[in-house]
Chains A and B, each alone.
Chain A
Amino acid sequence: MDKFGFAQSQKFDTYASRLLPREEYFTSGHRSCQGCGEALAVRWVCKAIGKDAIIAHATGCMEIVSSGMPQTSWMHPWIHVAFENTAAVAAGIETGLKILARKGKIPEPLPAVVAMGGDGGTSDIGLQALSGALERGHNFTYVCWDNEAYMNTGIQRSSSTPYGAMTTTSPPGKRSIGQATWKKNMVAIAVAHGIPYVATASPSYVFDLYFKVRKAIETPGPAYIHVLSVCPTGWRSATDLSVRLGRLAVETGVFPLYEVVNGRYRLTVQPPKLRPVIDYLKPQGRFRHLRKPELDLIQRQTLAAYELLLAKCQAPYPEFPVLSHEEETIAEGA
């Protein structure tokens, strides 16, 4: 497993999939929905963190589908306490291990400590505990599974739900276009804590995800990884399109893949040409009510955010999509 050291990790694209670990730490038999992008992400993150790790998990989809007493899908030592406190629990585990090692009660090197939670458990209710843990500098990695709403409780909006998306608490109607706010930038919030490693990742880009997790684990101090997790149930998308949608999110610039090492931004996947956002939005039923003004707004906002990111990364501009002037809507196109 550890043949992928930190120095080698820069060359992730030279490895073939058969060289990745065969061990399964998130085992089959869990109850996630068909086509769950999050379960896929969990599986790869668990492979990347390796055997010698302890996981603290927030309440949410992944907890519920994987840990029905007396069964478990987790081969790691794993603890679930509550929804909003996972970063605090992980901080406690890391601190507990530290003092026990100092007193000679457990051997070193210490296992990696990884906290995991959904976008609600991270960017809404768990933000305070996460901020505290990042600020205090605990040596742990926090992974956010971002499926862009409270899927476990039935697709309610979170601060991570994108503009225009239909959820059960941001329904489109005569006076609503769906989610009326823009997705909270959790990555920027994590970066603002001055922690050594922050990254976005996607299970649609397995090598990129794998090596970012390895880097996070090997970085002393706090690390934060934000994983876009396609949710066919909540996004109203076909279950066989999850990996494709993850790719489209990157190819349209909606969810760029990058890392921030000691405050320095770097794009890790650079599409030579950005596709129009409609390619990403169209296969998702949650956006089907949107009309041209909203679609144009999303396109403009996506490009503006992407330009800001490019500036931070000092990366060259890709070819931007030509904005359409057709009276296209998703509903008509679908």
Chain B
Amino acid sequence: MSGQPASARRVGMEVSIAVSYAVQMARAEAIAAYPITPQTHIVEHLSSLVANGELEAEFINVESEHSALSACIGMSAAGARTYTATSAQGLALMHEILFITSGMRFPIVMTVANRALSAPLSIWNDHSDIMAARDIGWIQVFVKNGQEAYDHTLMAFKIAEHPEVLLPTIVNLDGFILSHVVEALEFLSQEDVDAFLPPYQPKYRLDPKKPVTMGAFAMPEIYTEVKYAHQVALSNSYGHILRVWDEWAGLTGRHYRPVESYLTEDARILFLTMGSLTEVAEVAVEEMRAQGLPVGLLSLRLWRPFPFDALREAVKGAELLIVCDRALSAGGPGGPVHSEVRNCLYPLETKPATVNYIIGLGGRDVPPKAFHDILARARQEAESGPTGEFFLYGVRG
């Protein structure tokens, strides 16, 4: 699969390979990764790009994901544009370092090919890995198809490295469902990418000519202020994210928003999805519209910083919001996305009722029919009151 990426033309390509080409076109300089299904094709292809001299970079084959992200911190601290990718158990093993990466403000870009967490062991897709890493302080976006995966991988570097942002960024793409599917994709030319994404200029780096101490510890007198600074930076990254997305729209015609709306005009019932589920839901919503049902679809693209205002605006006029989660917070309120959405909408005087459906765990297929079933059940719940905090769609027993 090695070779030059196609420039500014449509090609059929596996999404993982497209992501690795995006990393190549971003001229990433330093990569450390550990193999884990379904992330493997991304790092395999990057390895071959480096091995063939098609990407001027160093690739460290570390002995664990914990060391992968640790080595990435070292490379980023040295001043290199740094990338890694992982999934599920790998993300969980990185957990400790995820917080340190953002706390120390290293603009590392990571692809997470979302996969279920053990046990039982499952290599297949859901969002339990990234939802367990919700509070890591990184910028986090979700993509619904291969084109978006390519686009957002490139944009992630530009967002992360902005001197006023300096935050690590995760692009979430659904394992197998997206990572291993072949799609028609449009690539930018290298010249356009270079003009869009100039070389990384680190604000601080480890340099004997200008020594700095990184990773000092904080006593109670200062810890809160450092955390507040991180919160302000992550919150303020919102404007920079929108600016980069707007610039991308000017370049490609593909315009991304923190909350995407599909057939929402006059909709009284809204689905809310994330990731690849969105394209399936689009098909279902089209069918519902054809049946004359007042149904629309919201897709949450930006998970962190959470787009509070955009979501509040997007639900205006709706009576019922059906939040589809792909992870279960066991013993809790159900899906993490629903929890946050309900939290976001709570202060509104007029707001839709919300119901939570958890679907597609551990790679369980979600056909458009599932959304029809959910709609029927949700409308019943809306009339007679919710039957519980959440509903685990399709569960047997």
Contact = CB atoms under 8 A, between A and B. Distances in A.
Contact of B100 (A56, A81, A92): A81
Nearest to B61: A136
B208 A51 contact: yes
A131 B74 contact: no
Contacts of A95: 30, 32, 58, 60, 71, 74-75, 78
Interface stretch (A65-73, A143-151, A166-174, A306-314): A65-73
A84 interface: yes
B11 interface: no
A193 to B, nearest CB: 12
Contact of A131 (B63, B76, B206): B63
Interface in B35-73: 56-58, 60-64, 66-68, 70-73
Given A95-B30, A106-B207, 7 more contacts: A68-B218, A69-B217, A95-B58, A100-B80, A129-B63, A132-B63, A132-B64
B226 interface: yes
Interface string A91-104: 11111111110110
A131 B96 CA distance: 20
A71 B30 CA distance: 30
A78 B29 CA distance: 22
Interface of B: 29-30, 32, 56-58, 60-64, 66-68, 70-80, 82, 96-97, 100, 104, 206-208, 210-219, 222, 226
Size category of the binding interface on chain A? 35 or more
A230 B211 CA distance: 29
Interface string A137-170: 0000000000000000000000000000000000
Given A81-B70, A81-B100, A132-B64, A92 B217 contact: no
A294 B222 CA distance: 49
Nearest to B212: A77
B57 A99 contact: yes
Contacts of B64: 128-129, 132
B70 A129 contact: yes
B86 to A, nearest CB: 14
A68 B60 contact: no
Contacts of A72: 213, 216
Contact of B79 (A80, A106, A131): A106
Contacts of B78: 54, 92-93, 95-97, 100
Contact of A136 (B56, B60, B206, B226): B60
B236 to A, nearest CB: 22
A99 B56 contact: yes
Contact of B213 (A74, A103, A106, A111): A74
A81 B215 contact: yes
A33 interface: no
